[in-house]
A and B are shown apart, each in its own frame.
Chain A
Amino acid sequence: MASPRRLAALLAELEDQLITCMRCGFCQAVCPLYGQTGREADVARGKLALLDGLAQEMLRDAAGVQERLQRCLLCGACAAHCPSGVKVLDIFLKARALLTGYLGLSPLQKLVFRGLLSRPARFNRLLALASPWQAILARPADELLGTSCSRLVSPFGPRHFRCLAPEPLHRQTPELHTAPGASGLRVGFFVGCLIDKLYPAVGQAALKVLAHHGVGVELPALQACCGIPALSAGESLTFHRLLAHNLARFRPERFDYLLTACATCAATIRRMWPLMGRDLTAAQQAQVRALAAKTRDVSQFLVETGLVAGGLAAADGGRPLTYHDPCHLHNSLDVTSQPRQVLAASPGWRLKEMAAPDSCCGMGGSFSLHHYELSAAMGRRKLANIKASGCQTVATSCPACMLHISDMLSQAGERVAVRHVLEIYAEGLD
């Protein structure tokens, strides 16, 4: 039964973490959302106070707290800069799960999460059916960016979105099992939904790079989503189904590293799987920990193993390009120099930093679905910095950032190409 007392009891498990926030308010300096709205409920300190309020039964409005808790990009900037080391993302994801468990999912969320996302084969079939219809409902907006916009009134609003790839990666390369080459290394490759369905070329670029460096690849068939959309919505059931599905496919003993070209998948597997997998069996927990420990962003892997020589000094000349730090690499995994080193090792290019390369692009996964105007306002700031850099190409390491930055550039009519770091690097290997 729903009662404030029961909710307080549920939230009690967060108390030891909640108490560590000393209300200094330093998170206001780095929160991209607070920068837009100036509302305390939008910054980490306010949200932590609200959760504390529910736990202490000073507050009855659980739905109000849930709504405010969902207004967050989960970019992790607050946690990365917190003087007292509050594990903000851990708290928020656990609290979202508790609140969703308490208040329930909406019928639409139930359909999307439990009916589709948690069933990878069905999800793939549905999107395969939808793909051919896109040409009728959408018209190309910008060829360089590969964006489209709606022909008619649509649920996508003013967005310039990217259409589903005609052939997703799981059709192009259903699975792959290659032996280690010159490097002597073998990696698991976690594709991720956006690369599979929207940016298969990024996945192919990653596979090309790995083959070039003599790295053996284990790419299991029928991979599922990493689970972040479900975690973000507090939908534990779907998250655990997805986790179990992926655990059955990725055996840590078969590879030295688990790689992904998606910053968000990397952060989710490395940081969130171990955190949220408490209901698993001991063996599964051990597997999750082993996988998390082996998880790397591809650039991080290339630099760590010495396959790409360190150093940021690029050859003089070359076309200028600028780099956007995805929050999930910069804030969650402290991966900042490695993608730049991979770019420095890409012939014909010269890295030119934009102002505030590490400020959030505003995507925040499902945040941009629910709060598009805020998301776009942050995106426009990013857009201004990209423009001011004068570069015709912006590289990044996350397909979600690519999607949002492309949307912003396309709506503004800017002729700037958005590429994944690995696409840039792979081109130079020809």
Chain B
Amino acid sequence: MRDQALIKKFADILGVESVFTQESDLLTYSYDAAGLPGQAPWLALRPQTLEHLGRAVKVCHEEGLPLTVRGAGTNLSGGAIPRPDGVVLLTSALKRIIEINQADMYAVVEPGVVTAQLFAATLAHGLFYPPDPGSQAVSTLGGNVAENSGGLRGLKYGVTRDYVMGLSFFDSEGNLVHTGARTVKCVTGYNLAGLMVGSEGTLGVFGRIILKLIPPPAAAKAMVAVYERMQDASETVAAIIAARILPATLEFMDNFTIRTVEDYSRAGLPREAAALLLIEVDGHPAQVEEEAARVQEICRQHGARVQMAQDAAQRDKIWEARRAAIPALARLKPSIWLEDATVPRSQIPAMIAALTEIAAKCQLTIGTFGHAGDGNLHPTIVYDKRDPDQRQRVAAAVEAIFERALTLGGTLSGEHGLGLTKVRFLADEVGPATIAWSRRLKAALDPKGILNPGKAIGG
């Protein structure tokens, strides 16, 4: 009875077409891209306006209903998986770019705007929004902010955190809270935006987001460096940074990934190479020329053969090869497990050695590629999730990867978040006091514990 009355209450507020109650709709909100067993929610809501979003949160608070906000459902750590007694709040109808301000270089967006669409819209205004997570073609900015998403450009341009100037969000009671401003400088009150970024939906529900924009680089130059020894590739990364050059992208591929991509796309990659670095420098044309030449020289000094892209078509080909990494690996076996444990970039050789060792020990195939410039590798395990034995070995391998990343001074997650999959390892990285403090904070801000319970800090 309570259920029917509640459903009617939501329908009265949001309109009946924005309330999903049938099991064949609810099942489609049971999963995200992490590949975990799903969990259908009790109800899914698709508010059409920010006001409706706030009122929905308010009702959830009044009724003590757990709520999980869902953008494109591309989370790689189970952060979008709801509770069975809870509500999924969809942002897919909240997709307006409210403002792109050329004079003050910022954008104001609703949480459901797709990352790539903001990128395209800012470019049309002569501006640039750099964060480019791998799922940017579908991921939403609300999700990016909640997860503090990274991407290929992290080394030079930073991650989502570096572009959030301000936010408005609904607290657990449905009150609208504002933080930050449209100005470059703002020290009014606590830096709540800093707290909200990467909070995985556990502290509030985003309404509007103010994002910093920058001038786009005028020129770019890409190259591929081919290595016969892994060690030479990692030393090149260190040498480029030591030369005080920050490439826009500095990507790595191991031999297994190279061979898999080549089998899949016939892009002409050297199958025998131990490693590839895919490098792009951008900026003022003169600076690009100079830095490209310098990077090429550094690569050669470390024993690489370097192919410089001569035109846009060759440049596209380089990045196509990188983009093919996941599709190519995904086709080898029914399932993939994509990790993002991150180490200080000087520890990349040690991490790669550890991955080889872990793959052998757990008898698994691991292809490794990723953002060498910022130490954020993506060891990708290919397996068949229907086989319990393989699942168990994947779990063991993942645990070993975390353990090694932490030993090397790294972190559990560079950009995918802790969600459900990594939360039990949190204490290993931050210790009990940090968890206790975080949970006290959560309990104070969300006393009923309704905001995406169990994610990010567990509990």
Q: With A24-B135, A25-B73, A38-B93 as given contacts, are A49 and B327 in contact (CB-CB < 8 Å)?
A: no
Closest B residue, CB atoms, query A21: B334
Q: In the complex, which residues of chain B have a beta carbon less than 8 angstroms from the beta carbon of A311?
A: none
The answer on a CB contact under 8 Å between B46 and A38 is: yes
Residue A415, interface by CB 8 Å: no
The answer on a CB contact under 8 Å between A23 and B72 is: no
Our pick among B28, B46, B137, B331 for the contact of A49 (Cβ within 8 Å) is B28
Tell me which of A53-61, A201-209, A255-263 binds B.
A53-61
The answer on a CB contact under 8 Å between B327 and A22 is: no
Q: In the complex, which residues of chain A have a beta carbon less than 8 angstroms from the beta carbon of B336?
A: 22
Residue B74, interface by CB 8 Å: yes
The answer on a CB contact under 8 Å between B138 and A28 is: yes
Q: In the complex, which residues of chain A have a beta carbon less than 8 angstroms from the beta carbon of B384?
A: 19
Residue A41, interface by CB 8 Å: yes
Closest Cβ of chain A to B344, distance in Å, is 29
Our pick among A45, A46, A49, A84 for the contact of B330 (Cβ within 8 Å) is A84
The answer on a CB contact under 8 Å between B90 and A19 is: no
Chain B, 102-140, contact with A by CB distance < 8 Å: what is the 0/1 string? 000000000010101000000000000000000101100
Residue A68, interface by CB 8 Å: yes
Closest B residue, CB atoms, query A24: B33
The answer on a CB contact under 8 Å between A85 and B327 is: yes
The answer on a CB contact under 8 Å between A26 and B138 is: yes
Q: With A29-B137, A38-B90, A49-B28 as given contacts, are A23 and B23 in contact (CB-CB < 8 Å)?
A: no
The answer on a CB contact under 8 Å between B327 and A84 is: yes
Closest B residue, CB atoms, query A65: B24
Residue B15, interface by CB 8 Å: no
Closest A residue, CB atoms, query B386: A19
Within 8 A of A (CB), among B50-74: 72-74
The answer on a CB contact under 8 Å between A50 and B386 is: no
The answer on a CB contact under 8 Å between A84 and B24 is: no
The answer on a CB contact under 8 Å between B24 and A22 is: no
Residue A178, interface by CB 8 Å: no
Closest A residue, CB atoms, query B114: A29
The answer on a CB contact under 8 Å between A29 and B138 is: yes
Residue A154, interface by CB 8 Å: no
The answer on a CB contact under 8 Å between B24 and A23 is: no
The answer on a CB contact under 8 Å between B32 and A40 is: no
CA distance A45 to B29 in the complex (A): 11
Could you tell me how many residues of chain B have their Cβ less than 8 Å away from some Cβ of chain A? 37
CA distance A83 to B329 in the complex (A): 10
Q: With A25-B72, A84-B331 as given contacts, are A49 and B38 in contact (CB-CB < 8 Å)?
A: yes
Our pick among B22, B38, B335 for the contact of A22 (Cβ within 8 Å) is B335
Our pick among B33, B93, B116 for the contact of A25 (Cβ within 8 Å) is B33
Q: With A28-B138, A60-B23, A83-B326 as given contacts, are A19 and B335 in contact (CB-CB < 8 Å)?
A: yes
Chain B, 16-31, contact with A by CB distance < 8 Å: what is the 0/1 string? 0000001111011111
Q: In the complex, which residues of chain B have a beta carbon less than 8 angstroms from the beta carbon of A38?
A: 46, 90, 92-93, 95, 112
Residue B458, interface by CB 8 Å: no
The answer on a CB contact under 8 Å between B29 and A40 is: yes
Closest Cβ of chain A to B46, distance in Å, is 7
Q: In the complex, which residues of chain A have a beta carbon less than 8 angstroms from the beta carbon of B35?
A: 22-23
The answer on a CB contact under 8 Å between B23 and A61 is: yes
The answer on a CB contact under 8 Å between A59 and B326 is: no
The answer on a CB contact under 8 Å between A59 and B24 is: yes
Closest Cβ of chain A to B113, distance in Å, is 12
CA distance A64 to B116 in the complex (A): 33
Closest B residue, CB atoms, query A84: B330
Q: In the complex, which residues of chain A have a beta carbon less than 8 angstroms from the beta carbon of B93?
A: 38
Closest Cβ of chain A to B25, distance in Å, is 5
Closest B residue, CB atoms, query A81: B137
Chain A, 73-111, contact with B by CB distance < 8 Å: what is the 0/1 string? 000000000011100000000000000000000000000
Within 8 A of B (CB), among A20-48: 20, 22-26, 28-29, 38-41, 45-46
The answer on a CB contact under 8 Å between B327 and A50 is: no
Could you tell me how many residues of chain A have their Cβ less than 8 Å away from some Cβ of chain B? 30
Q: In the complex, which residues of chain B have a beta carbon less than 8 angstroms from the beta carbon of A50?
A: 24, 27-28
CA distance A19 to B387 in the complex (A): 12
Q: In the complex, which residues of chain B have a beta carbon less than 8 angstroms from the beta carbon of A45?
A: 28, 73
Number of A-B contacts (CB under 8 A): 91
Closest A residue, CB atoms, query B136: A29
Q: In the complex, which residues of chain A have a beta carbon less than 8 angstroms from the beta carbon of B135?
A: 24-26
The answer on a CB contact under 8 Å between A39 and B25 is: yes
The answer on a CB contact under 8 Å between B31 and A41 is: no
Q: In the complex, which residues of chain B have a beta carbon less than 8 angstroms from the beta carbon of A26?
A: 135, 137-138
Our pick among B24, B72, B90 for the contact of A68 (Cβ within 8 Å) is B24
Q: With A19-B335, A23-B32, A25-B72 as given contacts, are A64 and B23 in contact (CB-CB < 8 Å)?
A: yes
Our pick among B24, B33, B72 for the contact of A41 (Cβ within 8 Å) is B24
Q: In the complex, which residues of chain A have a beta carbon less than 8 angstroms from the beta carbon of B112?
A: 38
CA distance A348 to B46 in the complex (A): 51
Q: With A25-B74, A84-B327 as given contacts, are A64 and B33 in contact (CB-CB < 8 Å)?
A: no
Our pick among A24, A41, A61, A84 for the contact of B28 (Cβ within 8 Å) is A41
Q: In the complex, which residues of chain B have a beta carbon less than 8 angstroms from the beta carbon of A59?
A: 23-24, 27
CA distance A67 to B116 in the complex (A): 31
Q: In the complex, which residues of chain B have a beta carbon less than 8 angstroms from the beta carbon of A40?
A: 25, 28-29, 73
The answer on a CB contact under 8 Å between A49 and B31 is: yes
CA distance A50 to B439 in the complex (A): 36
CA distance A58 to B384 in the complex (A): 20
Closest Cβ of chain B to A83, distance in Å, is 4
Chain B, 131-156, contact with A by CB distance < 8 Å: what is the 0/1 string? 00001011000000000000000000
Q: In the complex, which residues of chain B have a beta carbon less than 8 angstroms from the beta carbon of A61?
A: 22-24
The answer on a CB contact under 8 Å between B72 and A28 is: yes
Q: In the complex, which residues of chain B have a beta carbon less than 8 angstroms from the beta carbon of A53?
A: 24, 27
CA distance A24 to B136 in the complex (A): 12
The answer on a CB contact under 8 Å between A49 and B27 is: yes
Closest Cβ of chain A to B397, distance in Å, is 18
Q: In the complex, which residues of chain B have a beta carbon less than 8 angstroms from the beta carbon of A23?
A: 31-33, 35, 73
Residue among A39, A40, A53, A65 having the largest count of chain B Cβ atoms under 10 Å = A40
Closest Cβ of chain B to A328, distance in Å, is 23
Chain A, 210-226, contact with B by CB distance < 8 Å: what is the 0/1 string? 00000000000000000
CA distance A83 to B330 in the complex (A): 8
CA distance A67 to B23 in the complex (A): 13
Q: In the complex, which residues of chain A have a beta carbon less than 8 angstroms from the beta carbon of B22?
A: 61, 64
CA distance A17 to B151 in the complex (A): 30
A–B Cβ pairs within 8 angstroms, 19 of them: A22-B330, A23-B35, A23-B73, A25-B72, A25-B135, A29-B137, A38-B95, A39-B28, A41-B25, A49-B28, A49-B38, A53-B27, A60-B23, A61-B23, A64-B22, A68-B25, A83-B326, A83-B327, A85-B331
10 closest A-B pairs by CB: A38-B92, A64-B24, A46-B28, A40-B28, A84-B330, A83-B327, A29-B137, A19-B334, A28-B138, A41-B28
- With A16-B334, A85-B327 known, 20 other A-B pairs at CB within 8 A are A19-B335, A23-B33, A23-B73, A25-B32, A25-B33, A25-B135, A26-B135, A28-B138, A38-B46, A39-B28, A40-B25, A49-B27, A49-B30, A50-B24, A53-B24, A59-B24, A61-B22, A61-B23, A61-B24, A64-B22
